Structure 1
Amino acid sequence: MPAVPPDALLITVAPTGAETSKADCPQLPTTLEELVTTAQECEAAGAAMIHVHVRDAEHQPTLDLALLTDTVQALKESTDLVVQLSTGGSVHDPLDQRLKVLDAQPDSCSLTMGTTNFGDDVFLNPWPFVCELYQLSQERRIVPEFELFDLGQAHALVRLIEQFGLPFGGRVHCDFVMGVPGGMPGTADALVAGLSSLPPEVTSWSATGVGRTTLPVALAALSKGGHLRVGMEDVLTISRGIPVQSNAQLVERAASLGEMAQRRPMTSDEARRQLGLS
């Protein structure tokens, strides 16, 4: 299998999330039709993977298996993107329902490596749940993306791999989620500290800056040779006081930043090779 060229930049788009309401942000894609259109636009702009949260008919976050399955199927039929489902859902979703997300058969799933204070809420990821979800992803041949909200979660990844071995596909991809109130700050110093804590098995990593940390984190990640996750799950302004009009706008900016760093957007086929999905 040919190696992915080092100048290839994996851009992941996280278009919806579970926190922002449709009423507060009408341009947020919450219906299946809106999500498919967004995915196609973002693929054309340079994204190779989509991180998906699903909403119900009232635009509320849901882990309804039928909706998840229909969404995965529609995205696979209408794009070549790597489809990654969130197993985090919203901070209020019970652990047993979050495990059932894998029944929708995505290419990839998020796997958060520990419990995090999330603003005024708690994003619960106890160790037994992390282990069960990881083993389930291995059995289902679904590639996890390890989400790291704090430095201790990088060390937890070391422990997980030591205990249960490598993921399906043999590649280890993680994403630093930075700037969440209660998690690691969205700074270059925090990113460097996180990178120094990763296990040697890690084969690729990306970074996500939430809110006003979006640009600092993106620039720091590019300077260290990493990849980027962008999208309206994480930021709702394109510049100070200017609302984002579409997820494609954020992907286009990420691709432009990559071009400045002499990186070009990774294709979906390259992303599959990078993640061990080929």
Structure 2
Amino acid sequence: MVKIINIFGDQYSGQAGKAGVFAKWKGRQYRRAYVIPANPKTTMQQVVRGYFTNAITAWHTYHSIQRLVYSYLATGLVMSGMNLLVRRWQLAATKVLTLPIAPSEGIKQIASAESLKTDEVVSATDNPTTLVAKPVEIGSLIMGSTWASDVQDAYIDIGMGDVRLPAAIATCDGALAVGEAVAVGDQLCISYTSGGRTIVKEILATYEAGVEEFGARAAIADALRTAFYPIDFKSVHFYVYDLSLTTYTE
């Protein structure tokens, strides 16, 4: 592999005779020597090209969020996220190290307060041990597997824009269940910011006669989706619009 050297002022792109190869990328000019391997079909040459193929195959199995992870890792480097994966893959494979794994996805929960539960004693010799009260429960605002969680009208995934309804919304005030019953023409709306855009009361669903549009949508496959994502943290406002009163209840 030939080292790439930064040069300023060149406006060439492509091959200049047999002297070198020039390119402009990310606002910079680059040049590398034009080199033809003495024997491109040696065992090592073919093995390295095989690692390259495997890395590209892995890249094509990643979805947009996983690829974005590598793009973030390549920030400040003179390469793309895909090139970074290929580089790490080839280095690991040639040295018989662990190959790069696919980026993981999950839910990050941030609490505004703390609550102690100290009535469980674990022996120092129990390794590993299983706690009765789990430290974190995914999708809950309360800590612990047996503690009661606050009722939520909707779960919004800020990464993908999925809006899930854990239970049917029957009234215009949602989980409070003391307002007007939803009727034809009522709407589920959401306001948020994403990528510099400010979206105000985007319509997610409209209640229609004979169609339970506001029914439970707990599964990702049934989720409503915003027009733009990722959504900026703490920018979401979820509303039920009452057509008869022309009011929005958050």
Q: Fold-level match, TM-score > 0.5?
A: no
Higher-helix-fraction structure: 1
TM-score, normalization by structure 1: 0.19
Larger-Rg structure: 2
Per chain length, whose mean CA-contact separation is higher, i.e. which structure has more relative contact order (CA < 8 Å, sep 6+)?
A: 1
TM-score, with length taken from structure 2? 0.20
